[in-house]
A = this chain, B = another copy of it.
Amino acid sequence: MKETFVKELVKPELRSPILVEGLPGLGLVGKITIRHLVRQLKARKFGFLYSPHFPYFVIVSKKGSVRLLRGAFYYWKNGDRDLILFTGDSQAQTIEGQYEISDRMLDFAKRCGVKLIVTIGGYRMEAKDKPKVVAAATNRELLDRALKAGAEVSPAGSPIVGTAGLILGLSHFSGIEALCLLGETRGYLPDPKSAKSVLEVLQGLLGFDVNLPGLDEEIAKGEKMVTRLQKIEERRVLEAEENKKEEDKKVTYIS
């Protein structure tokens, strides 16, 4: 394996498919979004993307089997606009690998007849109660559709890092239009709440219907963990203050 390649398992006949991509990144927003879609839509796996630019280890599965890190393509038949979903274990580990994987994905998308790609990721921001979704696109009409579906325009000058961004940058070489949706997230923990916001926009945009409350359990679990981490942090601060006071007493005695 000298280069990134896609291994097709079956060749489904797809009508005007739209590709939705979400690899691991900030808050795992992209990966959680695609994983939820795959489960809710019962999408079917039809190909893998392998790359020598992924990390150099394999993963042991539940039954002692082993597999390379990879990306996976799924399809979902939906009247006259089918969906292709893509997620994976990792981003490429080198700059050149990042460009190569995005290139290979665009090649494959083109071969599948894809005219529109939506990439999903996280956007680092201390979100209010409900994470917002910011959008950028390769054409204005596409962006407007995302805004109508509830997204806001991504702040000018901000970078979109990794595959979610590069696919947009490289897409015009393949004659494919692309839209990027980024959910606000603090980024350091898996963030299903942000993924839910993205899914709401995606649903409005693409006109399918997934069970969004299905994410609520995961969100509750995530919030419990955050609360627990916050308590640990608060206790740490309190103890540090206590120690400080003890120290200060000593100093007081001295003077």
Residues of A that sit less than 8 Å from B by CB: 1-2, 52-69, 92-100, 103, 135-140, 143, 153-162, 165-166, 168-170, 173, 180, 250-251, 253-255
Interface of A: prevailing SS = mixed
Whole-angstrom CA separation of A160 from B55 in the bound complex: 11
Q: 9 new A-B pairs (CB below 8 Å) besides A1-B170, A2-B100, A60-B155? A: A1-B99, A56-B162, A56-B166, A60-B156, A62-B156, A66-B138, A68-B166, A250-B255, A253-B254
Contact B165 A58, beta carbon cutoff 8 Å: yes
Contact B65 A180, beta carbon cutoff 8 Å: no
Contact of A65 among B1, B52, B137 (CB under 8 A): B137
Please, which residues of chain B bring their CB within 8 A of the CB of A57? 159-162, 165-166
Contact A95 B53, beta carbon cutoff 8 Å: yes
Please, which residues of chain B bring their CB within 8 A of the CB of A64? 135-137, 140, 143, 153-154
Contact A165 B100, beta carbon cutoff 8 Å: no
Contact of A98 among B56, B59, B165, B166 (CB under 8 A): B56
**Closest Cβ–Cβ distance, residue A145 to chain B (whole Å):** 12
Please, which residues of chain B bring their CB within 8 A of the CB of A156? 60-63
